Chains A and B, each alone.
Chain A
């Protein structure tokens, strides 16, 4: 079945860039997503990328996709304390019409 893998923790210093990595196994993935979950809150859609794209940038966020290696990354520039959260990578094969397969989430810890 489909599998999405992420590191469980990432620690960075405030002001540095954070790079959260994700690998997936489903070669039919068409859309890949990044969600943010803050304590006590629901998942917030950060960004998504179509599988025929290599990169997508949105303000401080940069998504890189290596489809050959099935590797997705999320770079957060100038990391702030408000970026502390769990970041979930997710994919769907069905053009967005299907439910998502999630990784276990990466807990981003910000050091002062």
Chain B
């Protein structure tokens, strides 16, 4: 149980284009999903928190117009990197909080984004 998937696992895009990453909770309902970013040999950094049906809350320094987050259902959240630049290249990881086990966050396998 408590499986979170992400799609795609890897994506390469050209500078200036937009990329959408999906995060799904497969066997539970996720009232809250989180998006993190991980640079090589660094820890995960929280980007934003999204609650189903409401606007995402962004961490300081994260541009909300650049990283669009939608949490339209209890099992799906999407992160769209708009007008991507090479410095956006990173490992993006989502996590989901089970509405019945509020203290536990389950992580997806991550998406490797490379912007050329």
**A-B interface contact total, Cβ < 8 Å:** 57
Within 8 Å of chain B (Cβ to Cβ): is A69? no
User: In the complex, what residues of B have CB within 8 A of residue A102's CB?
Assistant: 43-45
One of A42, A95, A101 near B4 (C-beta < 8 A)? A42
Interface size classification for chain A: 20 to 34
Q: How many B residues, CB 8 Å from partner?
A: 25
User: In the complex, what residues of B have CB within 8 A of residue A95's CB?
Assistant: 102-103
Shortest beta-carbon distance from B56 to chain A in Å: 11
> For the complex, would chain B's binding face be called helix, strand, loop or mixed by DSSP majority?
strand
A45 and B43 form a contact (CB under 8 A) = no
Bound-state Cα–Cα, A101 to B110, Å: 17
A105 and B4 form a contact (CB under 8 A) = no
User: In the complex, what residues of B have CB within 8 A of residue A100's CB?
Assistant: 34, 44, 46, 95, 105
With A42-B4, A42-B93, A45-B105 already in contact, the answer to whether A88 and B44 are too (CB < 8 A) is yes
Q: Chain B interface (Cβ within 8 Å of chain A)? A: 2, 4, 32, 34, 36, 41-46, 49, 59, 93, 95, 97, 102-110
